[in-house]
C-alpha cells in the first residue's frame, strides 16, 4: 500500500483529556488561483513548526486573506490554526505552504492565534496545541525532538512562537508516557479494579432507605442494558 497523496479531515489521536474535534475549513479559505501551492511527498514530512499569529483577534479567514493578498502566497501559510478551544485544519497536510522560510518542504506549520509575546498560552490553547501536535506526530511518526518553534529553524530570525519550546517538548514526552500507560495491562487492571469498587459501593449504598439509596439503585439499573449487551447478564 502506497503513501497517501492527500491528508484532509484529520482526526484527533487518543488523548488523556477531551477537546473538540478538528474542523477542516480548508475549502472555505481564500487561495491564489493564479499561483496555487504545490504538494509534497508524505515521506518528506519529518518536522513540525510551531507558530503564533502575533496578533490578537485574528481568524484563519483573515490570515488567509493576508497571506494571499499581501504576501502573494498560494493560500494561508499554516496547515493548522488553533483559536481558543478549537483546532482548525486550514491546509492539506501535504501542501507545500509557506510558514517557515527555507524549511517548508519538510515541516507542518501549526499556529496559535494570538500574540504570545504579550501573554501566556491559555490552558485551552495549550491543550489544543498539544493535541494538534500529537495528531500530526502520529500521522508522520515524528519524534518529539523534531517539534520545533519557528525561531529554532535555520535562517529564521524571529521570536515566533514566543513560548518555551523546551517546555512544549517536555510536556509532549509526558503525554507520550501517559498514553503508553493508558494502553498498558497495568492501566486496564487498575481501571477494572476501580469499576468493581465503584459498583460495590453503589450496591451497598442502594441498601439504605434514603434518597442516596434510590439514586444509587437507579444508577445501577442503568447498567443493565450494557451488561446484557456484553453477555454479563
Same domain, 171 and 190: no
| Residue-wise burial string across 101-132, b where 16 or more C-beta atoms lie within 10 A, e elsewhere | eebbebbbbbbbbbebeeeebeeebbbbbbbb
Same domain, 84 and 134: yes
Q: What is the rounded distance in angstroms from the CA atom of residue 165 to the CA atom of residue 130?
A: 12
Structural domains counted in the chain: 2
Q: Is residue 61 in a domain?
A: yes
Same domain, 192 and 177: no
Q: Is residue 5 in a domain?
A: no
User: Within 13 Å of residue 223, how many CA atoms lie on the same side as its CB?
Assistant: 13
Same domain, 106 and 160: yes
How far is C-alpha 219 from the geometric centre of its chain's CA atoms? 34
Q: Is residue 37 in a domain?
A: yes
Under the phi-then-psi rule, with left for phi > 0, alpha for psi from -120 to 50, and beta for the rest, what region is 84?
A: left
Q: Is residue 172 in a domain?
A: yes
Same domain, 199 and 141: no
Q: Considering 159, 182, 205, which residue would you say is the last residue of a domain? A: 182
Q: Is residue 223 in a domain?
A: yes
Q: Is residue 6 in a domain?
A: no
pLDDT of residue 227: 85
Same domain, 39 and 109: yes
pLDDT of residue 192: 82
| Domain containing residue 164 | 23-182
Same domain, 161 and 215: no
| Sequential DSSP letters for 4-28 | PS---S--PPP-SS--PPPEE-GGG
Same domain, 164 and 204: no
C-alpha cell at 15: 488523548
What is the CATH number for 160?
Answer: 3.40.80.10
Q: Is residue 78 in a domain?
A: yes
Q: Is residue 13 in a domain?
A: no
Same domain, 114 and 204: no
Same domain, 142 and 39: yes
- H or E element at residue 51: strand 47-52
Same domain, 144 and 192: no
Q: What is the full per-residue pLDDT of the chain (233 aa) written as tens digits? A: 577 889 999 999 989 899 999 999 999 999 999 999 999 999 999 999 999 999 999 999 999 999 999 999 999 999 999 999 999 999 999 999 999 999 999 999 999 999 999 999 999 999 999 999 999 999 999 999 999 999 999 999 999 999 999 999 999 999 998 888 776 667 677 778 788 888 888 888 889 888 888 888 888 899 888 888 888 88
Same domain, 123 and 178: yes
- Which pTM value belongs to this model? 0.78
| Sequential DSSP letters for 66-134 | HHHHTT--SS-S-SEEEETTEEEE-S-TTEE--SSTT-TTSEEEEEESS-TTTSPPPHHHHHHHHHHHH
pLDDT of residue 106: 98
Amino acid at each position: 500500500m502506497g503513501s497517501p497523496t492527500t491528508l484532509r479531515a484529520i482526526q484527533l489521536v487518543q488523548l488523556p483529556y477531551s477537546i473538540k474535534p478538528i474542523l477542516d475549513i480548508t475549502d472555505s479559505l481564500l487561495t491564489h488561483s493564479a499561483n496555487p501551492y504545490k504538494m509534497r511527498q508524505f515521506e518528506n514530512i519529518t518536522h513540525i513548526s510551531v507558530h503564533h499569529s502575533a496578533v490578537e483577534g485574528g481568524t484563519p479567514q483573515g490570515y488567509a486573506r493576508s497571506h494571499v493578498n499581501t504576501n502573494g502566497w498560494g493560500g494561508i501559510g499554516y496547515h493548522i490554526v488553533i483559536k481558543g478551544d478549537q483546532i482548525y485544519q486550514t491546509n492539506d497536510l501535504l501542501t507545500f505552504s509557506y510558514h517557515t522560510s527555507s524549511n517548508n518542504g519538510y515541516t507542518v506549520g501549526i499556529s496559535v492565534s494570538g500574540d504570545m509575546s504579550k501573554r501566556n498560552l491559555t490552558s485551552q490553547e495549550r491543550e489544543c496545541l498539544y493535541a494538534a501536535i500529537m495528531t500530526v506526530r502520529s500521522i508522520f511518526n515524528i519524534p518529539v525532538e523534531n517539534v520545533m518553534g519557528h525561531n529554532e529553524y535555520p535562517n529564521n530570525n524571529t521570536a515566533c512562537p514566543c513560548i518555551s519550546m523546551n517546555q512544549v517538548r517536555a510536556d509532549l514526552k509526558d503525554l507520550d508516557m501517559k498514553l503508553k500507560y493508558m494502553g498498558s495491562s497495568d492501566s486496564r487492571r487498575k481501571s477494572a479494579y476501580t469499576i468493581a469498587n465503584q459498583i460495590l459501593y453503589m450496591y451497598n449504598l442502594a441498601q439504605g432507605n434514603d434518597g442516596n439509596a434510590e439514586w444509587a439503585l437507579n444508577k445501577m439499573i442503568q447498567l443493565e442494558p450494557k451488561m446484557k449487551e456484553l453477555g454479563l447478564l
